[in-house]
Amino acid sequence: MIIGKLFLRIDNRAVSDLGSDIRAEIVRTRGQWLLENCWGGYVALLRDPGSTEFFLLRDPSGLLACYHAAEACGTVYFTNEPELLSLTRYGRGRVDWTRLSTHLRSSDFRGADTCLSGVSELLPGCRLRAPAPEDQEPAWKPWDHIVPDWRLKRESPSELLRRTIDNCVGAWGRTYDHIVMGISGGLDSSIVLSALKTAGASPLLYTLATRAPEGDERDFAQSVADHFGYALSASHYAMAEINPGRSHVAHLARPVGNYFVQAVEATVRKQMDLIEGDGTVAIFSGGGGDNVFCFAASATPAADRLLAEGFGPGFLSTLRDIHSVTGASVPQILTKAISRAWRRDHGHRWKENSHLIAAERSASETLAFAHPWLDCPRTAPPGKALHIALLLRFHNHIERHRRPDLPATIMPLLSQPIIELCLSIPSWSWFQGGINRSVARAAFADRLPTATVRRTVKGRPDSFALEIYDAHRDALRDMLGEGLLRQQRVIDWHGVETVLNNTAPSHVERLRLLEFGNAEAWARHWTQ
């Protein structure tokens, strides 16, 4: 049984029945046939008729969630909606406070553990055996795809990337009758929109702006919409939609939400009201583009080129490119590149964030950051370790857009063929010419407005988030001062109170307290 959306690699056609012979091969290979010949957003349930065991396989995109919980009697539950577990003995009152503390310290890291006791996640690209779901193993490894794609011998990276994106986005687009899509006028959402246009889709477009100029992208978004001949609905983030006592991810197994998404969801619902006729609906997004296209401020791509080619004109060119992208000096980049190239451990080092976490938690709970995607081969280039960490970092962002009362959110740039191709492109190529995501820009340069192709900085909703803090500071004080996170000694209340009393707290401090507020609202939901 395959739950979700499945496409064949050979022609990107959506399939619902693969035939008995192929089904038998899928079971025999424990799902490897699917990973090699298909892609999509799915979970596969595999059972040999001659055995009592069965396996679950989750595709690498992470677009369809899969959680599991096992009872002592041997019953195992699997679901994409953790809220459904409340119908079993895995009900309310099962917040794991140690794991919640770990989550708040982990800087977007996402492992198999959740913040609910007894509930774990089957990670993207992994397979597990039931009734022993702790035996999770990687069935798809990003490290297997960091060597150059064989097709790059006859096509340029940009040509191959454009064709792959067109194929994947087009396949997703043809799956739904109606598409609602938020655009910013930035590169990633514009690329998805370009591919939808090529596929003949007619999405309903919207954009949201902050009151502050740095988060107002309406002109950029309108330019892109006009370029493709689509209408655009533009509005501001609405403070009236924000309820600090409610977590929009209360139904999930971790508090991964941001308050501003409440305003996004309200806008999406208004767009859905405009849909005429029946049919399937999906929300499309350019989310994940930065991660897939290796957008990072790092010297590791220079280290990769040094390891691959040695000191030479190519390495010096990459030093200049990274200087142009990051603003760091060439000597600084050179020093860091040499250090990373000659360090024996090329793996990514995840950074802990214990800011305003109770000291006893930070001192007594060690963060392991265990994930099969972080098991870096000794000879792997450090820039590829960073690229893979970027992919992993985005999984929390996918999750925060999942709601059972809204259509599925599709982020087609996370499709397996796109991820695999981008991993195979040398890390330094993404910075070529001194501009970020350069391969993706080149791939769509002739199909996007020139201003979009050249745009290197995009707006963020942070200013609206800061407005939320200012508008609801008293509510946050009440929630956190009398809340579960304080009672369970997850947060440093003295430090939190100091921030609340500060008339001009820093940007980072305000965002941190909003994160705590969302976690408090989430925890209250699960302890009712």
Q: Alpha-carbon distance 497 to 262, whole Å?
A: 26
Residue range 442-465, pLDDT digits in tens = 999 999 999 999 987 777 888 999
Strand partners, 482: none
3 state DSSP class of 233: strand
Neighbour-count burial of 520, counting CB atoms closer than 10 A to its CB (0-12 exposed, 13-18 middle, 19+ buried): buried
**pTM for this entry:** 0.95
Q: What are the C-alpha distances in Å from 347 to residues 293, 343, 377, 381?
A: 19, 10, 8, 8
Residue range 94-113, pLDDT digits in tens = 899 999 999 999 999 999 99
Tokens of 393: 């970092």
Would you call the peptide bond into 131 cis, given omega within 30 degrees of 0 as the criterion?
yes
Would you call the peptide bond into 301 cis, given omega within 30 degrees of 0 as the criterion?
no
Tokens of 469: 């803090």
Unique residue bearing structure tokens 């983030």: 237
Residue 235 phi/psi, 5° resolution?
A: -155, 175
3 state DSSP class of 513: helix
Q: Are 449 and 197 in contact (CB under 8 A)?
A: no
Query: Measuring CA to CA, which residue among 404, 456, 405 is closest to residue 434?
Result: 456
Q: Alpha-carbon distance 86 to 67, whole Å?
A: 13
Report which of residues 87 and 195 the model is more confident about: 195
pLDDT-derived band of residue 91, with 50, 70 and 90 as boundaries? low
pLDDT-derived band of residue 46, with 50, 70 and 90 as boundaries? very high
3 state DSSP class of 410: strand
Q: Alpha-carbon distance 166 to 430, whole Å?
A: 19
Q: Letter for the amino acid at 332?
A: Q
One-character DSSP codes across 297-322? --SHHHHHHHHHH-SSHHHHHHHHHH
